[in-house]
Amino acid sequence: MIRLLFILLLFSIHLTGQTISPEQYSIMFYNVENLFDCEDDSLTLDDEFTFEGDYHWSYNRYKQKLNQISKVILNVNQWNYPSIIGLCEIENAKVLNQLIYETGLNNLNFKFIHYNSPDRRGIDVALLYSQSKFTVLSSHPINLTDPTSNFYTRDALYVKGVALSRDTLHLIVNHWPSKRGGETASAGKRIRVAGIIKSVTDSIQLLEKDANIILMGDFNDELDSEAIQLLLKEGGFHSLVDQNKILLHNIGGSHKFQGQWSLIDHILISSHLKQNDSVVLSHKIGYMDWQLEEDKSYSGLKPKRTYSGPRYIGGVSDHLPVILTIQYKKR
């Protein structure tokens, strides 16, 4: 019987011409919501997250948040923890050092890339990466601020590297302007940023026609927005998400506001990567039950955040991470 099953398996492989190789890696993006240390930075508006601040931020609360973020990274994709992780709403290099060296991530050989951004609150984007699966070639911040027109926003982060010693990736980590002041009033800011990011990716593709470019971040916009459509239709990027079919187990997006789920955290890929027939690509919104709580004001579930107004409730973030897995085929 065992011999027969083995023969059938070989026959199946012969028919399909390929099987899936265990050689794979995952890329995750996660808005970790206000990852501040407890110290006052005189150059930024971080006073709320200090001992004496409105949130009475403490070392114990800070350490709990670090440990929760590490638990998400380690477990949200089951056994295949992400090799590359884009983060936003982190305060500085100190919190990143403590995240990778003073939590359960300590033995995984992670490093990080971070540049200080001109954000008034002092929150930045960053990239964590496993040195065993990703080799960094270069990196730099992408300035999105224009003081001459009184336009201020966070920098994006560009990183070029090689995954699994085989594919060169161009990664851009984003945290676009929020909808503060209303969606319509703020839309122009995100369209402006989308135009700058598109010009960067156009330049990459001009130099490297078949570039594997991955845009990740909290774009504060859904896929059908004008800003995201600029990247999808004119920039040649793709989403692996059918936004009409993401409602699974009461989870309808990466963020929930006033009872409405939305997908505003994205991983977008360039055409060359999308059309690469040597890999299988999959996308998911990652979560574990403890990241969620009952939505008592509306219905269903919602991400359990660290604070509800000024009240500490001990959750990890008001966002859920999004994950792209790239798995190589074996012919």
Structural domains in the chain, CATH included, are 23-330 (3.60.10.10)
Cβ(229)–Cβ(263) under 8 Å? no
**How far is C-alpha 173 from the chain's CA centre?**
7
Q: From CA 135, how far away is CA 140, in angstroms rounded?
A: 15
- pLDDT for 78 equals 84
147-to-46, 85, 157 alpha-carbon distances in Å: 22, 30, 19
**What is the pLDDT tens value at each position of the chain, 331 positions in all?**
444 433 333 333 333 333 445 689 999 999 999 999 999 888 898 989 999 999 999 999 999 999 999 999 999 998 789 999 999 999 999 999 999 999 999 999 999 999 999 888 999 999 999 999 999 999 999 999 999 988 989 999 999 999 999 899 999 999 999 988 788 889 999 999 999 999 999 999 999 999 999 999 999 999 999 999 999 999 999 999 875 565 555 688 999 999 999 999 999 999 999 999 999 999 999 999 999 999 999 999 999 999 999 999 999 999 999 999 999 987 6
Q: Mark 257-282 as b/e (b = at least 16 C-beta within 10 Å).
A: eeeebebbbbbbbbbebbebeebeee
Cβ(162)–Cβ(135) under 8 Å? yes
Around Cβ 112, how many Cβ atoms within 10 Å? 17
- pLDDT for 35 equals 98
